[in-house]
Structure 1
Amino acid sequence: MWRDESVTYQVAHRPLGQLLALLGHIDAVHGLYYLLMHAVFALWDGGLVALRLPSVLATALAAAGVGALGTRLAGPRTGVLAGVLFALFPATQQYAQEGRSYALVTAGVVWATYLFLRGRWVGYGMVLAVACWVHEFAALVLCAHAVTLRLLGVPWRRWAVAAAGVLMSVAPLAVVSARQADRQLGWLGRPSAAMWLAFLAVSALGLLLSRVLADRTVTALALPLLIVPPGLLITASLLKPWYVDRYVLYALAGLALLGGLALDRLPAHLGRIAACVLAVVLLPASLSVRTPESRKDDVVAVADTVRKLSRPGDGVLFLPSRRREWLLSYPTVYARLDDLALARSPAASHTLEGTELPSATIRSHLLAASRVIALTDPEGQPLDPFPQESVKRRTLREHFQECERVRVWGAQVVVYVREPGPGSAEGCRD
């Protein structure tokens, strides 16, 4: 479990009233997903399995949808190959095993695209509206569908009515989440060179396949789906940083359709060779996304380390405060510690990590403690400049002795003991 999954787990376990109160302050964009997970845990509180099961099922549904699209566009063989190829993509596998909303959004967009292809406009609008409420960036697929209609020269009036209905239905969520955007996405920077290179490389691959295949119908649907949503989001992020590739994970369905058709066009013996080569090429990445190192951190390892190093009544300090999310999913570990900086709990403050005390109070609490477990980011990460964070670091540096430092993936757990006075035998040995 990594930090985003930990947030899902914590929020979904809150009483319904507290969950709704949180959404009024932050994370409204994930509100419908949190409500779904709240219902899942109410039916079966199955820990990590329950947390991730909806994503597994949604990915299976999305792969089936890609297969259905390929079948309708170019025949059942293309459909099977496209669906299997979609399931083999490492990014698909990563979010299939993650307790977040992106696999569900992908399934919704893929099946909405299938209904779009069949001209089932009422169903199209309803399915896409739900997908947008699970994550509003699903609405970017409307631009891809508009390009498809333009390329095919198909009448667009009924689609426009359905699209307008989708936008109207998601407008309240867009208004609320726009007010929360600075808090929600403040951690994002503008797209890096690596992000641009990845987007351009995948887009170039799609363009190459479309030129080689020369199938107007498949290309008109798959290529805009692959390029338009991520292209719009990454370009807009030059002005307002909003781009993360998982927000438009559903774009991979376009690449799978093009790849499935390419495999279908090959002679049987070449197709088998290409499938084997592809499996070998993708295998290292597929194995990699099944390791803790594929995520930013490992909340399970953090909690296990704190359990081993701490004693009941030890003080605990989170540097920065948002790292409180590391322990909140492990209430038995968190409950045995004294949170020295906490003013109001996450549930009571309707926030994700709680609110903290003034700097002077944090300092006095620290000076009254004899032993502190500090949870920090890995070395080399930027330090928050806020007064509470500065006073935590300064007080530990001036009045405490570091006794033990354990590095786990994406985090450090450090044991501090008050520096012994003159003639005292206290210190790290105790």
Structure 2
Amino acid sequence: MWRDESVTWQVAHRPLSGLWELLGAVDAVHGLYYLLMHGVFLLWDGGLWALRLPSVAATALAAAGVAAVAHRLAGDRAALIAGVAYAVLPPVQMYAQEGRSYALVACAVVWATHLALRERWAGYAAVLLLGCWLHEFAVLALPAHAFAAWRAPGWRRAAAAVVVLLLPLAWVSARQADQQLGWLGRPGWQDWAAYGVLAGACLLLARGAAPGVVRVALPLALLPPGVLLAVSLVHPWYVDRYVLYALAGLALLAGARLATARRWWPWLLVAALLVPAALWSVWLRTPDSRKDDALAAAAAVRERARPGDAVVFLPSRRREWLLSSPDVYAGLRDVALDRSPAASRTLQGTELPSVELREALIASPRVIALMDPAGQPLDPYPREAVKRQTLAAWFDRCSLTETRGARIAVYARPGACD
């Protein structure tokens, strides 16, 4: 369970009143997803299984939706290949096994595409709006759908309804944008290179494909990530998982092109691509595929902590590593904490002023510190500097344990490590 999944776990376990108060301050963009997961955990509090099962089911439904779209546009053979192609794409597999909203958003966009092709406009508006309320960047599917459906009066009315009904969420989340997306920088060369590879693959597959397939699949694959990349030159909002559903367009093009392949070389190319894809798929199922491992960090703390030990997080947002393991967190004194996450209507709580924080640390004979890996940039905020300086000046470091994406250090008064 990495840090984003830990957020899902701890927020979805809050009472509905606390969840509503949180969303008024932060993370409104994920509000519907948290509400859904709250219901899942009420029905079955099955740990990681319950956390990830909705994403697994959504990915299966999305693959079926890709097959349904391909069937309508290019027939049975294209449907089978496109559905399988979508399911085996490594990014799709990554978010199929993650307790976040992106697989559900992709499922909604894919089935909205299918409903648009069938001109079921009420259903189209409802399903796409569901996707947008799960994550509002699903609205970028609208300009992609316009290429195939603009002339249909029903589509224009449905699109207008989606935009109007999304406005309340957009208004609230815009006020939270600095907190929600402030960690993002402008797209790097890797982002542009990945988009270039996607665009090149889609354009290559579009050659010789039926016009109807190209009109649906190519805009879906290229417009949402392209628009978000362009916007991010001014407002840094781009993360590839925000537009995961664009890969459905790539799968549709692959299915349609391979279904009509009469020569051996396209299938040889597919076989060659399956080798690195399989290796990537195996790697995705290891802890190393995530930035950190909250449960591993909590297990390391459990092994080293004694009753009444103080705990401190450097930086404070790493409190997330223990919030999803309440049995471990409850046995420690969070000496820097001023107001809990629930009381402060925040994700990780608020901390004491610097002077009080320093006094609380000095008064603690033994401290468990949860820190970022070595080499990570240090937060320049005064509270974070006080934590580092106090530990260095008043304590000896007794041990240091590294887990995936985290370091757990035990500190004690000079001469008291034994």
TM-score, length of structure 2 as denominator length: 0.98
Offset from partner CA, 1:379-404 (integer Å, 9 cap, x none): 11111111111100110111111111
Offset from partner CA, 1:64-83 (integer Å, 9 cap, x none): 00000110000011001000
Q: Distance in 2 between matches of 1:155 and 1:378?
A: 54
Q: Distance in 2 between matches of 1:76 and 1:251?
A: 22
Q: How does 1:21-420 map onto structure 2 within 5 Å?
A: 21-149=21-149, 155-211=151-207, 213-267=208-262, 273-419=268-414
Could you tell me whether the CA contact under 8 Å between 2:209 and 2:256 is conserved in 1? no
Q: Distance in 1 between matches of 2:297 and 2:363?
A: 25
- Tell me the secondary structure at the aligned position of residue 413 of structure 1: strand
Q: CA deviation at 1:262?
A: 2.0
Aligned residues: 418
Instruction: Point out where structure 2 has 5 or more consecutive residues left out of the alignment.
Output: none
Percent sequence identity is: 60
Q: CA deviation at 1:40?
A: 0.5
Q: CA deviation at 1:214?
A: 3.8
Q: Distance in 1 between matches of 2:24 and 2:142?
A: 27
Q: Distance in 1 between matches of 2:267 and 2:371?
A: 49
Q: Distance in 2 between matches of 1:259 and 1:281?
A: 17
Q: Distance in 1 between matches of 2:34 and 2:381?
A: 30
Q: CA deviation at 1:428?
A: 1.6
Equivalent residue letter for 1:139: V
- Tell me the secondary structure at the aligned position of residue 407 of structure 2: strand
TM-score, length of structure 1 as denominator length: 0.95
Instruction: Point out where structure 1 has 5 or more consecutive residues left out of the alignment.
Output: 420-425
Equivalent residue letter for 2:125: G
Could you tell me whether the CA contact under 8 Å between 2:206 and 2:257 is conserved in 1? no
Which 4+ runs in 1 deviate beyond 6 A? none
Q: Distance in 2 between matches of 1:75 and 1:356?
A: 59
- Tell me the secondary structure at the aligned position of residue 20 of structure 2: helix
Q: Distance in 2 between matches of 1:128 and 1:39?
A: 21
Aligned CA-pair RMSD: 1.2
Q: Distance in 1 between matches of 2:193 and 2:288?
A: 22
Equivalent residue letter for 2:285: R
Could you tell me whether the CA contact under 8 Å between 1:136 and 1:174 is conserved in 2? yes
Equivalent residue letter for 1:207: L
Could you tell me whether the CA contact under 8 Å between 1:316 and 1:339 is conserved in 2? yes
Q: CA deviation at 1:266?
A: 2.0
Could you tell me whether the CA contact under 8 Å between 1:306 and 1:333 is conserved in 2? yes
- Tell me the secondary structure at the aligned position of residue 402 of structure 1: strand
Q: CA deviation at 1:261?
A: 1.5
Equivalent residue letter for 1:395: T
Offset from partner CA, 1:289-333 (integer Å, 9 cap, x none): 111111110111101111111111111000000000000010110
Q: CA deviation at 1:271?
A: 6.5
Q: CA deviation at 1:191?
A: 0.6
